[in-house]
């Protein structure tokens, strides 16, 4: 399921997508951003699933992956809203954000954020601020899954 909401607002180019399962990071964003917008900085951030998850006792427990639950269409709208507001705040040229829903196994990519800006400081600040805001405001929940869970059901 992909929601390309870039036509809703003028200004920076924004693409938002939700993908079932692991994401294959798009390779063409950097070249397109450089050619279309003369970006001096293009950053790609990949969020990947680790093989363990912290417990309430602050220990690490092995997992097989994460199950991501979303609330559509609010998830797409909030990602788009945050991408636009943070792009304007940081003066970036283009943003491509994609998040998984469903199961993503260890080592799989569940989040891709690509940003193009005239300078690195704006791009780096955008990435940091956007991820913090996304974790706080966007309805995406992760549930650790392991084969041990199957034995307890």
Condensed to tens digits (0 to 9), the pLDDT of residues 76-110 reads 999 999 999 999 999 999 999 999 999 999 999 99
Residues of the domain holding 101: 6-147
The per-residue pLDDT for 147 is 83
The reply to whether 86 falls in a domain is yes
The reply to whether 79 falls in a domain is yes
The reply to whether 153 falls in a domain is no
Report the interhelical angle of 120-137 vs 74-90 (nearest 10°). Answer: 150
The reply to whether 1 falls in a domain is no
d(CA 60, CA 72): 31
Over its C-alpha atoms, the chain yields an Rg (Å, rounded) of 16
| CATH number of the structural domain spanning residue 110 | 3.90.1170.40
The reply to whether 84 falls in a domain is yes
The answer, yes or no, to whether residue 7 has pLDDT greater than 90, is no
Ranking 35-39, 49-53, 92-96, 124-128 by mean pLDDT, the lowest is 35-39
Q: Give backbone dihedrals phi and psi of 104, rounded to 5 degrees, phi first.
A: -130, 120
* Pair type for strands 109-117 and 140-145: unpaired
The reply to whether 38 falls in a domain is yes
Q: Which residue has the tokens 């405001």?
A: 137
Q: Among candidates 12, 8, 25, which has minimal Cα distance to 100?
A: 25
How many structural domains are present in the chain?
1
The reply to whether 47 falls in a domain is yes
The per-residue pLDDT for 34 is 64
Residues β-bridged to residue 19: 100
Whether residue 26 contacts residue 94, with contact meaning beta carbons closer than 8 Å, is answered with no
Q: Return the structure tokens found at 46.
A: 């990949």
The reply to whether 33 falls in a domain is yes
Q: How confident is the model at residue 12 (pLDDT cuts 50, 70, 90)?
A: confident
């Amino acid at each position: 399921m992909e929601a390309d909401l870039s036509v809703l607002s003028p200004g920076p180019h924004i693409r938002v997508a939700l993908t079932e399962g692991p994401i294959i990071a798009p390779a063409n964003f950097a070249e397109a951003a450089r050619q279309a917008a003369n970006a001096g900085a293009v950053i790609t951030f990949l969020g990947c699933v680790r093989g363990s998850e912290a417990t309430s006792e602050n220990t690490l427990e092995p997992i097989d992956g994460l199950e991501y639950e979303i609330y559509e269409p609010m998830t797409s709208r909030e990602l788009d809203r945050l991408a636009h507001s943070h792009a304007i705040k940081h003066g970036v040229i283009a943003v491509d954000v994609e998040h998984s829903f469903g199961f993503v196994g260890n080592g799989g990519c569940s989040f891709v954020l690509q940003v193009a800006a005239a300078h690195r400081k704006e791009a780096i600040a955008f990435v940091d601020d956007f991820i913090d805001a996304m974790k706080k405001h966007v309805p995406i929940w992760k549930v650790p899954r392991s084969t041990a869970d199957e034995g307890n059901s």
